[in-house]
Amino acid sequence: MDQIFLSILGPELAPIGPTIAAGFFGLILVLLVLPKLLTKEHDPLDKLKDEARGRKNAEDANTPALRFGGKKDKLQKYSNFLEPQSAEELSAMKLKLLQAGYRSPNAVRMYHFAQFVLGIGLLAFGGVLAFLKSMNGDPTTQQLAMYVLIPAGAGYMFPKYWVTRRVETRKEEIIAGFPDSLDLMLVCVEAGQSLDQAIVRVSTEIRAGFPSLADEFEIVSNEMKAGKDKVTVLRDMAERCGVPDVASFVTVLIQSTTFGTSISEALRVYAAEMRDKRVMRAEEKANTLPTKMTLATMMLTVPPLLVILIGPSVYGIYTMLSGSTF
């Protein structure tokens, strides 16, 4: 076997010939199995079982489908491979993407598709990199595995990292613009506008500075115009934002609507509370700033100060010792 690898790959690549052969064999198996996984059809027996289960339980029979696809959806036939199959996982993934600002019906599918493409693409890149390293030197098996697995893992995890960062950035933007939006909403309500008109006006005015919060108010306005229940619309907004301040604001509006109290008075009290909370948040950051600057101050200030204060004395001592020696 060694003579075969020596004759095919040459003396430089002959020692890693079995590893290369196993890698190519595994890649061929993946390419053969992948089309069958992507074009997997629904088993007729499973369809009969689902229908029987639906007939036994009337509520399950009336439950809407998990996903809807149109003729223009090119990834619809791969939904069994690119989407979670349980309703809980699919709902959690949709909520996370909504909090990141991705509202497309195909957002979950595109997210998993991006993970799949980046993982496979960087896996191939790692394989090429390992092949080039093996040609230029004699790396160990662990090093070759790291060259292949690290890019593949990074490609697979990058969409998750990107969505998580988008969620955090969007939450910070909503927190920063929410007190100003409440003040503007209070002015609109006290000027005689209804809550629906005030939400429309706020979404228009704050779009230049806080587009994420403006989008949420615009969605609320459109859903109210479509006839959706106001309480449900507000709760959906709180769930999409994922910010405790917005959830508390929604609770205040729901209680004001339920008990018939003045919305303007509730807005005035809550807007003042949000302003105080913003000031407290700024003071908290200001109080933590000296602690964060201590290390930088010590690293950047103390060494130059020591050089300035002690440097001339050290130089004078060195000159004196040099002169006395000679």
Per-residue pLDDT of the chain (326 residues; tens, 9 = 90+): 545 544 555 455 455 556 666 666 666 766 676 666 555 555 555 555 655 555 545 444 444 444 445 555 555 555 555 666 677 888 888 888 888 888 888 888 888 888 888 988 888 888 888 888 888 777 788 888 888 888 888 988 999 999 999 999 999 999 988 989 999 999 998 888 888 889 999 999 999 889 999 999 999 989 888 888 888 888 999 888 888 989 998 998 888 878 888 888 888 888 888 889 889 988 988 888 888 888 888 888 888 888 888 888 888 888 888 776 54
- For residue 62, being part of any structural domain is answered with no
- Regarding whether 120 and 86 lie in a shared domain, the answer is yes
| Among candidate residues 241, 259, 279, the one where a domain is terminated | 279
- For residue 98, being part of any structural domain is answered with yes
- Regarding whether 211 and 150 lie in a shared domain, the answer is no
- For residue 273, being part of any structural domain is answered with yes
- Regarding whether 245 and 97 lie in a shared domain, the answer is no
- Regarding whether 148 and 175 lie in a shared domain, the answer is no
- For residue 137, being part of any structural domain is answered with yes
Given this model, what pLDDT does residue 167 score? 92
Q: Using CA atoms, how far apart are residues 311 and 315, in angstroms rounded to an integer?
A: 6
- Regarding whether 251 and 214 lie in a shared domain, the answer is yes
- Regarding whether 164 and 124 lie in a shared domain, the answer is yes
Given this model, what pLDDT does residue 161 score? 93
Given this model, what pLDDT does residue 87 score? 78
- For residue 308, being part of any structural domain is answered with no
- Regarding whether 99 and 216 lie in a shared domain, the answer is no
- For residue 254, being part of any structural domain is answered with yes
What are the C-alpha distances in Å from 232 to residues 78, 189, 227? Answer: 33, 21, 11
- Regarding whether 175 and 157 lie in a shared domain, the answer is no
Q: Are 189 and 200 in contact (CB under 8 A)?
A: no
Q: Using CA atoms, how far apart are residues 271 and 307, in angstroms rounded to an integer?
A: 54
- Regarding whether 200 and 125 lie in a shared domain, the answer is no
Given this model, what pLDDT does residue 73 score? 54
Q: Tell me the residue range of the domain where 126 lies.
A: 2-40+75-168
Q: Using CA atoms, how far apart are residues 222 and 240, in angstroms rounded to an integer?
A: 15
- Regarding whether 270 and 219 lie in a shared domain, the answer is yes
SS percent in the chain: helix, strand, coil, step 5? 85, 0, 15
- Regarding whether 130 and 86 lie in a shared domain, the answer is yes
| Among candidate residues 168, 192, 208, the one where a domain is terminated | 168
| Among candidate residues 130, 151, 168, the one where a domain is terminated | 168
Given this model, what pLDDT does residue 61 score? 41
- Regarding whether 15 and 94 lie in a shared domain, the answer is yes
Q: 248-262 burial by CB neighbour count: b if 16+ within 10 A, else e?
A: ebbebbeebeeeeee
- For residue 318, being part of any structural domain is answered with no
Total tally of structural domains belonging to the chain? 2
- For residue 324, being part of any structural domain is answered with no
